[in-house]
Structure 1
Amino acid sequence: MDSARNPYTPNAGASPEIVVGRGEQTKAFRTLLGRLGAGRTHQSMVMVGLRGVGKTVLLNEFRDIAHQENWEVIEHEASKHDDSRFRQTMATLLRGALLRLSPRARWTDRGHRAASVITAFSVSMDQQGTWSLGWDVEPSEGLGDHGELGMDLSDALVAVGEAAQERQRGVAILIDEVQFLSARQLEALIQAIHKTVQRKLPITFVGAGLPQIAELAGDAKSYAERLFQFPTVDSLSPEDARTAITDPAAAESVQYDDDAVDLAVEITRGYPYFIQELGYQVWEIAEQNPISRDDVEQAREAYEAKLDSSFFRVRLDRATPLQSAYMRAMAELGPEPQKADAVARVLGRESSQVGPTRAELIDMGLLYTPEHGYAAFTVPDFDKYMLRAVPELLVPPIQKRKKRT
């Protein structure tokens, strides 16, 4: 097939040409915007799921929907930063949103007030002194300047929400990789959204992250479970997976044999990223229309090699030898969530000895805890990859602590 016409998009966060199986989530988002725009309250959303299931793609869909509804959008991919950097980032994003809601020359009292609160929020005293937001707006006094992140962010979001409400518009804050926010940052964000809900303001937060987010949010604020919906984004149903495989090709007037689709669904197990990767490799190999089962079978090796060298490998490359051994031991036990003591036995260690390693892998986003005492991979089929990439389990020796003299 012509590579230039390849309709599949195996890129991180790239929206496929045809998004299927996510109607429930997009409907929920439209309802959220509609209710907030009408002055009612509604639960915000934090989508949870493994890597490669399309959470980022959904956030992109939400951005487009928000723009269609004339809402302003703030987009951010969370990373591990201290509170000072978090303030700077949020202040910059809120400043941009306010300017897009209304040009500075047209600011009303609410617009000026929002700007001054954002300025106050942005001021962070650290070893480098005061950070400048980049505009000559005096900071407010008594709002956004408490020095407590949750209170200050609440003031900033309320002020921006009031400015948006006056313009008969709204602001949607879309944050990806929420699990990388610190506990204090997540708590501040939840607290701020709670305050906007109490004021019935048209401002909302929609996040996406790994499965541990629901637990982290609950730990941060006990009312988070009432403030947010936590829809799970999972693999596609067999029917939707078939559509995701066949419809992009059909748009290029290329068909699949039924048994070719059956094999593609079996190989990918309905995971959206895997479908895009396999579809891409099949397109590159196939020479005849319709695409046959043999084409899919021949593409399988290139498909697995591509996943191994990119999607999987970048995660293993971040791990220390002991972290790699821990994941290899988990893989040896199977794809299901594994108990900590069972993994420790495979490693020939006590649970207490490898507990810190397990915690590090969770903090890195490579594992999550579906229930107490268990851990699972955040990437589908990572157990199979570990068995391929690390054929033999090698456990580093215990490092003895040097005695103090």
Structure 2
Amino acid sequence: MGENPFTPSFGEVPLHLAGRAETIRLFQRAFDSGNRRPELTTIFSGARGTGKTALMAYLADCADRSGWIAVRTTALPGMMEDIEIQLRRKAAHLLGDQAKVSIGSIGIPDLLSVEVRQTAPASSNWRSRMEDMLDQLSASDTGVVMVVDEVDPSLDEMVQTAAVYQQFVVDKRKVALLMAGLPHNVSSLITNKTVSFLRRANQIHLGPIDDFEIERALSRTMADGHRSVDPRGLSVAADAIAGFPYMLQLVGYHAWEEASGEVVGIEGFQNAIEISRREMNSRVFAATLAELSASDVLFLRAMLVDEGDSAIADVCERLQWSSSQVAQYRRRLMDAGVIGRRARGVVGFELPFFREYLQERFEDEGL
């Protein structure tokens, strides 16, 4: 057998992006269209492990293949400079030399040495330098896609980038902005008055994927590695994955490793599920729990009393909180992607297996 075809590592693009075909089709149409389409300004949100980074990486590749130049960065200090440097490198064949050359010093160590340095015009800033490049790229009808991961609303550069992008759009430049982050960070960003236009941006929440899409992605990826799957094992795997893209890659990866022949059987999938759940605990759930406040956790503990979804009225009674206090923490947990609305006045756990993880943690800690 060949190399394991699954990609449970951060940021890697799977061979088959389960459940994203329609989204990809719409973005491909936007990149190929001569008109400006809503998809060119999009914010993706979702809990950890829902495939935000992988999807944006795939869409960046789509943009490159359609003649755009996609530059990818993370919302960290220096992100604006990172965007500029990447664009200069990727578009070097289309850009002229905009820097001025000056002589910094002259010396005679071995007869003669001249230090030459490049300096940007004194009046330039990030926006003007980007505009200069966009002007040159427009000659070849080349657009620029800025892809920003891990949205951080508290980062000044994040807000500045979005604000300048808005001006690019107003000036009818060929630009696109794709951003992704945890729900509460996205929610905070779009409520920032400086970039209020983002409230009208295309917003896509990445939730659970249908089981049939999970089964299809698993079987196709296995087939790419020249292995087939036992249909019973495939069904067990899809049920355990519960629509979670990262869990799909984990289960697929470990099922491949467990298999010894050309067919991945039900036992291999069962072993893979156990291994994957342990890894989910350490890689996803522990980090999610660490970000929650003590009151957030109290809210979740009140939900654990129910075997399934929870009525908000019951949570309110158990906690002896006011309705406004319950509404506040309900919103916080929904923004964090931990719980989701099931019906009017009813919520449930959004992250697969997070309920079981919390129950085990509380039992181990005697809480």
Q: TM-score, normalising length from structure 2?
A: 0.76
Superposition CA RMSD, Å: 3.9
Q: 87, 97, 100: which is aligned to 2:87? A: 97
The CA deviation at 1:376 is 7.0
Answer 1 or 2: which has greater strand percent.
2
1:53–1:233 Cα contact (<8 Å) kept: yes
* CA offsets 1:202-238 (integer angstroms, 9 cap, x no match): 1110112234566445423444344x21133333333
2:337 and 2:302 map into 1 onto residues whose CA distance is 14
1:233 maps to amino acid: L
2:233–2:267 Cα contact (<8 Å) kept: yes
1:176 and 1:378 map into 2 onto residues whose CA distance is 22
1:375 and 1:158 map into 2 onto residues whose CA distance is 47
What is the match of residue 198 of structure 2?
Answer: 224
1:50 is the counterpart of 2:33: no
Query: Judging changes above 3 Å, is the alpha-carbon distance between structure 1 residues 259 and 231 closer, same or farther for their aligned structure 2 residues?
Result: same
1:368 and 1:188 map into 2 onto residues whose CA distance is 31
1:333 and 1:160 map into 2 onto residues whose CA distance is 58
SS of equivalent residue, structure 2 residue 121? coil
2:132 and 2:154 map into 1 onto residues whose CA distance is 24
Query: Judging changes above 3 Å, is the alpha-carbon distance between structure 1 residues 70 and 208 closer, same or farther for their aligned structure 2 residues?
Result: same
2:196 and 2:293 map into 1 onto residues whose CA distance is 35
2:47–2:337 Cα contact (<8 Å) kept: no
1:335–1:381 Cα contact (<8 Å) kept: no
The CA deviation at 1:356 is 9.0
SS of equivalent residue, structure 2 residue 166? helix
SS of equivalent residue, structure 1 residue 231? strand
Query: Judging changes above 3 Å, is the alpha-carbon distance between structure 1 residues 370 and 74 closer, same or farther for their aligned structure 2 residues?
Result: farther
2:349 and 2:149 map into 1 onto residues whose CA distance is 19
1:46–1:230 Cα contact (<8 Å) kept: yes
SS of equivalent residue, structure 1 residue 245? helix
1:207 is the counterpart of 2:188: no
2:153–2:186 Cα contact (<8 Å) kept: no
What is the match of residue 72 of structure 2?
Answer: 75
2:94–2:137 Cα contact (<8 Å) kept: no
2:70–2:147 Cα contact (<8 Å) kept: yes
1:242–1:265 Cα contact (<8 Å) kept: yes
What is the match of residue 268 of structure 1?
Answer: 241
1:337 and 1:192 map into 2 onto residues whose CA distance is 43
2:67 maps to amino acid: N
1:31 is the counterpart of 2:29: yes
Q: 58, 68, 75: which is aligned to 1:61? A: 58
The CA deviation at 1:112 is 5.9
2:32 maps to amino acid: G
What is the match of residue 11 of structure 1?
Answer: 9
Q: 332, 345, 359: which is aligned to 1:387? A: 359
The CA deviation at 1:380 is 3.4
1:212 and 1:359 map into 2 onto residues whose CA distance is 9
1:256–1:292 Cα contact (<8 Å) kept: yes
The CA deviation at 1:201 is 0.9
Q: 256-265 vs 351-360, which deviates more?
A: 351-360
Q: 256, 262, 275: which is aligned to 1:302? A: 275
Query: Judging changes above 3 Å, is the alpha-carbon distance between structure 1 residues 162 and 369 closer, same or farther for their aligned structure 2 residues?
Result: farther
2:148 maps to amino acid: I
1:60 maps to amino acid: A
SS of equivalent residue, structure 1 residue 93? helix
2:143–2:175 Cα contact (<8 Å) kept: yes
* CA offsets 1:133-180 (integer angstroms, 9 cap, x no match): x96213316xx4xxxxxxxx76565444323213432211001122x2
* CA offsets 1:92-143 (integer angstroms, 9 cap, x no match): 3214313542379933xxx569xxxxxxxxxxxxxxxxxxxx96213316xx
* CA offsets 1:319-364 (integer angstroms, 9 cap, x no match): 576665554444445665774x86565456667889998898789x
1:48–1:208 Cα contact (<8 Å) kept: yes
The CA deviation at 1:241 is 1.2
1:332 and 1:191 map into 2 onto residues whose CA distance is 45
1:41 maps to amino acid: R
5+ unaligned residues in a row in structure 1: which ranges? 80-84, 114-133, 145-152, 396-405
SS of equivalent residue, structure 2 residue 282? helix
1:369 and 1:90 map into 2 onto residues whose CA distance is 34
Identity of aligned residues (%): 21
1:24 maps to amino acid: E
What is the match of residue 148 of structure 1?
Answer: none
Query: Judging changes above 3 Å, is the alpha-carbon distance between structure 1 residues 359 and 21 closer, same or farther for their aligned structure 2 residues?
Result: closer
The CA deviation at 1:366 is 6.4
SS of equivalent residue, structure 1 residue 175? strand
2:293 and 2:261 map into 1 onto residues whose CA distance is 46
Query: Judging changes above 3 Å, is the alpha-carbon distance between structure 1 residues 231 and 105 closer, same or farther for their aligned structure 2 residues?
Result: closer
